[in-house]
Chain A
């Protein structure tokens, strides 16, 4: 089963690369640097997906005390942090040639950084509590608080950055993008989503085996 998902993921990733480099055209204003977006945007999508899963799994755990839900939350948070870090890194690398600086407190990078630190704290909390039951409960509570904070982060950072400031190169998002670019993005969305599922599934299985070994 895992091999199938893994294989599919590889194929999708390969397709994504082909789309990003072979099919998608050289972007008019930014040049080939824009191709980093095929990494950056799907990464951010996966991160949000991951944290949404953490929220749902956390609620389910508190409501039903299913160990599987706890493991899912843990795994999803870990993979989420991974992709959040990637989002920040790729965003920064894209920013250097585009804005001339490695770092800028624009809306996206700032929000994603806050997310990164929040869920890193989640992983830290899990690491620091010895009692597995207590760790699961506390992590679930934190997972819920963090998730509800996400919209607050979004609005606050967006208002902070765009009020009294021209929204020039602010959001490199969809809008009036040519169809080919959208298609390339979509393929990479799918590839990254599959990668997320694969990683989370592996991580959950590892967690379950670790729990069984400890028992």
Chain B
């Protein structure tokens, strides 16, 4: 049975990319919201 490391890498690589992209999306949206609320807070 050939080892097919290519497929293993593909699977793990894909999983890593998807999860990291999702995580970064969450973090980015969180930071954007914080930036929006900051100026308002400082004004009061």
Q: Do chains A and B touch in the complex (CB under 8 A)?
A: yes
What is A's interface to B at a CB cutoff of 8 Å? 26, 29-33, 35-36, 39-40, 43, 82, 85-86, 89-90, 93-94, 96-97, 195, 199, 202-203, 205-206, 209-210, 213
Chain B residue, CB-CB nearest to A32:
B3
What is B's interface to A at a CB cutoff of 8 Å? 1-5, 7-8, 10-12, 14-15, 18-19, 22-23, 26-27, 29-30, 33-34, 36-37
Tally of contacts, chain A with chain B, CB under 8 A: 72
Q: Is the interface of B mostly helix, strand, loop or mixed?
A: helix
CB distance from B29 to the nearest CB of A (A): 6
Q: Is the CB of A86 within 8 A of B18?
A: yes
In angstroms, Cα B3 to Cα A26, docked, is 9
Q: Is the CB of A30 within 8 A of B11?
A: no
Q: Is the CB of A82 within 8 A of B26?
A: no
CB distance from A79 to the nearest CB of B (A): 8
CB distance from B2 to the nearest CB of A (A): 7
- Chain A neighbourhood of B11, CB < 8 A: 36, 39-40, 89-90, 93-94
CB distance from B15 to the nearest CB of A (A): 5
Q: Is the CB of B7 within 8 A of A96?
A: yes
Partner of A206, one of B7, B8, B12, B29: B29
